[in-house]
Amino acid sequence: MEQLIERKSRWMASHITDAEFPTPLSEKGLALYQDTQAAVEFGLYPASDSSSADLLTIYPVDCHPLTIRYALVLANRWQNEADKEAVIEYLTQIMFEDDSPAQLFVGFFKGKPAACGMVFQDNEHGSLICDIAALPLANQQQLISEMQQALASKASNQPVYSEQIG
């Protein structure tokens, strides 16, 4: 699992560290993201037969407008507005290639982006369900749970690890 987490961390950082001219704000956002990731705990995702409430319509992030929506939702993990701005600047720099090990997803609730998450896959080490977040709505925990379940069903490499949420 550690190799999978390290590979995901390198991939996430590469969008700034490999950039020719990263902005200072995106570099700050990367640092904030990395600091938060250091405190995240992962564990084996338990196989579940429970059905989701189908509150979300989930789309894979395949264009820049969806990357922006992903960034706006995930940035809600930070309370400070300046930190949120830096994290959004960083996350909107994510670029995808056809062979990308990561797939981002945005969940829409009542037609608006409300949840997000990532499946990071590695043929050798399995799949990692991570960066799951939802806007601070009354049903936030339900949205997070539904996103986590949906991403687990999309993970094609075993074993599947997930952020310990809750």
> For the residues 106-134, what does the mean pLDDT come to?
94
Supply the pLDDT for residue 116.
Answer: 98
Supply the pLDDT for residue 49.
Answer: 53
> Which structural domain, as residue segments, surrounds residue 145?
2-163
- Whether 154 has a pLDDT exceeding 70, the answer reads yes
For 33, the token pair is 């993201």
Give the total number of structural domains in the chain.
1
- Whether 166 has a pLDDT exceeding 80, the answer reads no
Half-sphere exposure of 39 (CA within 13 A, CB side): 6
Reading phi first (left if > 0) and then psi (alpha if -120 to 50, else beta), residue 54 is in left
The CATH number of the domain holding residue 111 is 3.40.630.30
**Which of 40-54, 59-73, 116-130 shows the lowest mean pLDDT across its residues?**
40-54
Half-sphere exposure of 102 (CA within 13 A, CB side): 23
- pLDDT digits 0-9 by tens, 9-35: 999 999 999 988 999 999 999 999 999
Supply the pLDDT for residue 102.
Answer: 94
Rounded-to-integer distance, Cα 164 and Cα 88, Å: 23
